[in-house]
Structure 1
Amino acid sequence: MHKSIEIDERIFQDAVKFYGSLFSLPPLASKVYAYLLFDYDKVGITFDEFVEVFSASKSSVSTSISLLLNSELIIDHNKMDERKRYFFINDGYKKIRFEKIVQKMKDELKLLDDLEHFKKNHDGHDEKMEAYKALLNKNIIHIQESLNKL
C-alpha cells in the first residue's frame, strides 16, 4: 500500500471516529477526511491514492470525496502540468464552521425572543431562560471576536 504521507494509526482511528460523529459523515468519507489531516506539508492526496490506501471502489471514494467537497470540508486543485486532482483539508472550514454555529445561536435567540414575547401574554418571567439567553449572547460575542482573529 503506497502512502505519500505518514500516519499514526491510533490517531487516525480517533480522528475517523471524532470527525465522523462531528460532521455526521459516513465511514469512508470520515476516513478520507482523517487521512487528509496528516498531510502537513499540503502536498495533496490524489483520488488514486485514496482508492489504494482504503482498498475501496472508485465509486465509493468518488461519492465520499463529493460529499466532502460539497460540505466544504475539503478542497481540490489541479497542478498545471497534470490531469490529476489533489485534495486538501479546507483550512477555511474552521471559520465557516464557527460562523454556522454563531448563526444557529442567533436563530435560537430570535426564536426564544419570539416565544418570550408570546408567553408574556400568558404568565411571568423565567430567570433560567434569561440566563440561557445571556450565555448564548456571551458565546456569540466571544466566537465572533475569535473569528475576527482567524
Structure 2
Amino acid sequence: MEREKLIEEIGVHFESVYNLPPLAARIYAILIMGNEEGYSFEALVEEVAASKSTVSTSLNLLLQLQKIEYFTKTGDRKRYFRKKINYLKTRLVNYITILEDEIAIFHKTSEYMKSSRPVDHEKNKSIVDIYHCYLHRTKELMQETVAKLEEACANRDK
C-alpha cells in the first residue's frame, strides 16, 4: 500500500511539473520506482488497470519526451520499458536550460529597466542583484551536480 501511495504522490508531482496526463505521470512514477529490468507492456497494462490503447498512448508520449526508454531481451520479442538510466542527470540538464532562459530574459528585462526607467531600476537594484545571484548560483550548483552524477555513473558502470 505504501508503494501505491508513493506512486500516486510522484504521479501528481509529475502532472504539475511536466504537464503530463495523469496516466502517463503514474506510469513514469511506476518506472522510476521499478528496477532496471523494466516492465513489459502487459505488466504495465495490468498494474495501471487501463486499456491497452491508453497505456500505449502514454508510453509513446513518455518515449517522445525522452523520459523513458525501451529495450528487448535476448530470445524475447516483447518490449520492456524503464526510466532512462541517467534520468536524474537529464532532469537537471533540463532545469539548467530553463535557468539559462530565465537568466537571459532577466538580463534583458534588467537592461531595459536600466535604460528606460533608471530611477525604478536603481530603487530595486539590491533586489535585482539578489535574484541575479540566486539564478547564477543555482545554475552552477546544478552543473556541479551533473558532473558528479556523470562521475558516479561512470564509476558504477566499471
User: Which category describes the TM-score, using the shorter chain as reference length?
Assistant: 0.7 to 0.9
Aligned partners of 1:16 and 1:31 also within 8 Å = yes
Residue 115 of structure 2 is matched in structure 1 by 121
Q: Deviations over 1:120-149 (max 9, x none)?
A: 323132221111001101111111111111
Q: Closer, same or farther in 2 for the Cα pair 1:79/1:146, shift >3 Å? A: same
SS in 2 for 1:75: strand
Q: Deviations over 1:15-66 (max 9, x none)?
A: 22222222221111122112223323x2210111112222211110110001
- From 13, 16, 28, the equivalent of 1:18 is 13
Flag the structure with higher helix content. 2
Q: Closer, same or farther in 2 for the Cα pair 1:119/1:16, shift >3 Å? A: closer
SS in 1 for 2:70: strand
* Unaligned ranges ≥5, structure 2: 150-158
Q: Percent identity?
A: 31
> CA separation in 1, counterparts of 2:10 and 2:105?
34
* Unaligned ranges ≥5, structure 1: 1-5
| Aligned positions of 1:34-49 closer than 5 A | 34-40=29-35, 42-49=36-43
Q: Closer, same or farther in 2 for the Cα pair 1:14/1:117, shift >3 Å? A: closer
Q: Closer, same or farther in 2 for the Cα pair 1:7/1:89, shift >3 Å? A: farther
Residue 86 of structure 1 is matched in structure 2 by 80
> CA separation in 2, counterparts of 1:52 and 1:87?
14
Residue 27 of structure 1 is matched in structure 2 by 22
Aligned partners of 1:7 and 1:35 also within 8 Å = no
> CA separation in 2, counterparts of 1:130 and 1:95?
29
Q: Closer, same or farther in 2 for the Cα pair 1:11/1:62, shift >3 Å? A: same
Residue 3 of structure 1 is matched in structure 2 by none
TM, length-normalised to structure 2: 0.81
Give 2:107's aligned amino acid: D
TM, length-normalised to structure 1: 0.85
> CA separation in 2, counterparts of 1:107 and 1:15?
26
* Superposed structure 1 runs of 4+ greater than 4 Å apart: none
